[in-house]
Amino acid sequence: KHPLPSLCWVLVAEENVDFRIHVENQTRARDDVSRKQLRLYQLYSRTSGKHIQVLGRRISARGEDGDKYAQLLVETDTFGSQVRIKGKETEFYLCMNRKGKLVGKPDGTSKECVFIEKVLENNYTALMSAKYSGWYVGFTKKGRPRKGPKTRENQQDVHFMKRYPKGQAELQKPFKYTTVTKRSRRIRPTHPG
């Protein structure tokens, strides 16, 4: 018997561990190589039934669809899923201070203004603070911000759905996956038998 197969297995196992650590480290670090991506959308709150608004220093989840304060510029600038969220109208960033309070800041360079986007099993998105692990962006039924320490990933209060503002969907068309329908049509036989 050759000892090589067991040796390969050990290398692969070690590599997996290292890779996970690597991904975690890369997700934490800012990456200036990746192109910054900017997307415009609204974040619909599952509890308030309205959209997150950046009203300058004040944050709420009471925005109607298409409301100018509910239009958010979401900037992705790291390897992984870290984002900065800026109100298009006010140009203030959504941030979480050390007390876990959601606040708007004119400068989004601080780590308090970076969130990790998590897509949950129910297809909702949760936003966890990159600085305060385990603290999430969350709102009450009345659209008031919840403090980070009082939030958990499985609470409806922290579940959001990304939606394009009214009239913006047409601009985003290149992102629709039309190729899938074309491919499935081609596979179907033209006439049975």
pLDDT digits (tens, 9 = 90+) for 113-152: 999 999 998 999 999 999 999 999 999 999 999 999 999 9
Residue 78: pLDDT band (50, 70, 90) is low
User: What would the mean pLDDT of 6-11 be, rounded to a whole number?
Assistant: 46
Amino acid identity, position 122 = N
- The secondary element (H helix, E strand) that includes residue 22 is helix 4-28
Counting every residue, how long is the chain?
193
User: What would the mean pLDDT of 98-112 be, rounded to a whole number?
Assistant: 96
pLDDT at residue 96 tops 80 = yes
pLDDT at residue 11 tops 50 = no
User: What would the mean pLDDT of 55-66 be, rounded to a whole number?
Assistant: 97
Whole-prediction pTM: 0.70
pLDDT at residue 193 tops 60 = no
The more confidently predicted of residues 26 and 42 is: 42
Exposure pattern of 43-79 as b/e (b: 16+ CB <10 Å)? bbbbbbebbbbbbbeebbbbbeeebebbbbbbbbbbb
Place of tokens 């670090």: 29
- The secondary element (H helix, E strand) that includes residue 187 is helix 179-187
Mean of the per-residue pLDDT values of the chain: 79
Q: Is 54 helix (H, G, I), strand (E, B) or coil?
A: strand
User: What would the mean pLDDT of 9-15 be, rounded to a whole number?
Assistant: 45
Residue 80: pLDDT band (50, 70, 90) is low
Place of tokens 């629709």: 176
pLDDT at residue 157 tops 50 = yes
The more confidently predicted of residues 63 and 22 is: 63
pLDDT at position 85 is 97
d(CA 35, CA 147): 32
| Local structure of residue 164 (DSSP, 8 states) | P
Residue 35: pLDDT band (50, 70, 90) is low
Q: Is 148 helix (H, G, I), strand (E, B) or coil?
A: helix
Which tokens in the block code for residue 13? Answer: 């196992």
pLDDT at position 190 is 53
